[in-house]
Amino acid sequence: MPSNAKPRPEPEAPEDVIDPARALLPAVQQVNARRVREGFWPKFTRVAARIPFADQLLGAYYATRDPETPTAAKGLLLAALAYFVLPTDLIPDLFAGIGFSDDAAVIAAVLATLGGHVRERHRALARDTLARLVRRD
């Protein structure tokens, strides 16, 4: 090996590669948090009456706002909520009947995995908020 060559690093173990402390999760989570913060309420209030999973979506939103929700769970919940907020997705939301099916699938998959982090207090707050939105319309 030439004298100026750097020694080759040891291959990383699988547990090192998936270590959240070494991943780019904080940056991605910050982008998703900003997207959700800026876009969730405008879109949600516009479409809540048309989507049957509004209560689950809102419960997930409230779980991300709870300081007791673990950071990793917040990250995945924020990713699902950011997918809902993004104007471009797999099936455009303007298609009647099927437009929100991809959003529902993403929320369902995340809640199937992390549903335990969406507590009863988040669900109750979601129900109360939806009731207020319905009364207002």
3-state secondary structure 14-47: HHHHCCHHHCCHHHHHHHHHHHHHHHHHHHHHHH
Number of C-beta neighbours around residue 102 at 10 A: 16
pLDDT digits (tens, 9 = 90+) for 31-73: 889 999 999 999 888 888 888 899 999 999 999 999 999 998 9
Q: Mention every residue, 6+ apart, whose C-beta is less than 8 A from residue 121.
A: 62, 66
Whole-model pTM?
0.72
Burial of 25 (0-12, 13-18, 19+ CB in 10 A): middle
